[in-house]
Structure formats: structure tokens, C-alpha cells
Chains A and B, each alone.
Chain A
């Protein structure tokens, strides 16, 4: 059981937009920065979003992040088949003194 809650799966057609939610509490998302990671099949996680809404160099602006209270959202526009992957949120939990991750969401581009 992950500390952060994500939907197991989402799907959308190529060219469409999708959002992935990540729900937590005041001890984690509510008071700490959120990151999002993309994990293509058989590969290591890759940082997509950090500090709630910042993109590392090289990440296209089709990917965006936002945070409100104790929830965070990853948005992906102009979906491509190459976006099919698992997406995971992560943050620090001040009560647990631990890094916590969501259970991951599998994106299918139909």
C-alpha cells in the first residue's frame, strides 16, 4: 500500500490530453515538493517534473505538473504512442522522514 495514491491506469487516444492524479496528505504533498517520473518498459525511471511544476532540460512542454493542497497532477498533451509508460509521483514525507512514491499509473495510448 503506497503512501501516495494514483489511479492504476489511464488511457487516451493519440493527440489527446490526459491527466494523472497523485493524492497524499499534509505531511507529504501538502508541505513538500512533488516530482513525477516516467518509466518506459524495461528501463529506469526518468525525471519528468520536479518542484511541483518544473521541467528538467530536454523534457518537452507537453508535460506539465501542478499541485493543490494535498494533491498533485501530471498533465500530458499531444499524446504520442511513445508516451506509453508507467508514471509515478514522489515526494518527502515529513512525518515518516522518508521519501514516498505513488503506486504508479500505466498510461495506454490507444
Chain B
């Protein structure tokens, strides 16, 4: 059974760096074809993909946010970490991590964590 759970601060100040951790179980990020992605959703708005990391450490980023994002993995801890620099109130959103199935879809999602950016 695959599960994922996001953790991190619920409130960050403008210009600060956000660090979110996705802790997962039921799969290994050292298995060929496996990936984990981050997706966010501002209140009342659409899903927005942020980043992906694969078993071979291949990393992909949203072109519009690439300069602010870093995704890493710790295979031994079953964790994926996303950092986003220079946070702004428009970055207020629920942040989800999800299991990527063979490059094609997100088949399991975490419950999400709401991050509010405010001074």
C-alpha cells in the first residue's frame, strides 16, 4: 500500500525559503521508473505542477518556477524534499506530493499541506 505525507511549516513570511518534506511508504525511490512529484493548488484555483524527481536522480522543474525550486531525495529515509526560495503571498497554496507512475501519471497523492505566506 502506497502512502505519502507532506510536512513543513504552515506559515512562512515573505522572502523566506519554504522547505517541505514528503515522507512515503509502500515503494522505493531506488526502483527503476519510480518518481515523486510536487504539485500545489492555491485556494479555489487549479493544480500547478512544481517539480519531479526520479529513481535515477533525474530532476524536472516547472519552467516558470525553476529558478526558485530545488528537489532532492533521501532514498534511505524514503523522503523527498522540496525547497522554494523567496516566498510571496501568491505562493499561498496547498502543497501535495504524489507518486509518479512510469513517467505517465500521478497515481497516489498525499493529503496535502496548506502553506500560508504572510507577514
Contacts and interface: CB of A to CB of B under 8 A. Distances in A.
B3 to A, nearest CB: 12
Contact of B96 (A2, A45, A96): A45
Contacts of A2: 46
Contacts of B107: 47, 50, 56
B105 A90 contact: yes
B11 interface: no
Given A33-B105, A44-B96, A99 B63 contact: no
A46 B52 CA distance: 18
- Give the size range of A's interface with the partner: 20 to 34
Contacts of B55: none
Contacts, number: 62
Interface string B75-114: 0000000000000000000001010010111111111100
A50 B60 contact: no
A1 B105 CA distance: 21
Contacts of A103: 46
Given A44-B96, A44-B110, A101 B47 contact: yes
Contact of B109 (A46, A92, A97): A46
Interface string A43-62: 11111001100001000000
A24 interface: no
A12 B101 CA distance: 32
Contacts of B47: 37, 45, 88, 90, 101, 104
Contact of B103 (A44, A46, A92): A92
Interface string B23-64: 000000000000001010000001111001000000010110
A98 B49 contact: yes
Contacts of A50: 101, 104-105, 107
Interface of A: 2, 33, 35, 37, 43-47, 50-51, 56, 88, 90, 92, 96-104
28 contacts: A2-B46, A33-B105, A35-B104, A35-B105, A44-B109, A44-B111, A45-B39, A45-B47, A45-B106, A46-B109, A47-B107, A47-B109, A50-B101, A50-B104, A50-B107, A88-B46, A88-B47, A90-B47, A90-B105, A98-B62, A98-B63, A99-B39, A99-B52, A100-B49, A101-B39, A101-B46, A101-B49, A103-B46
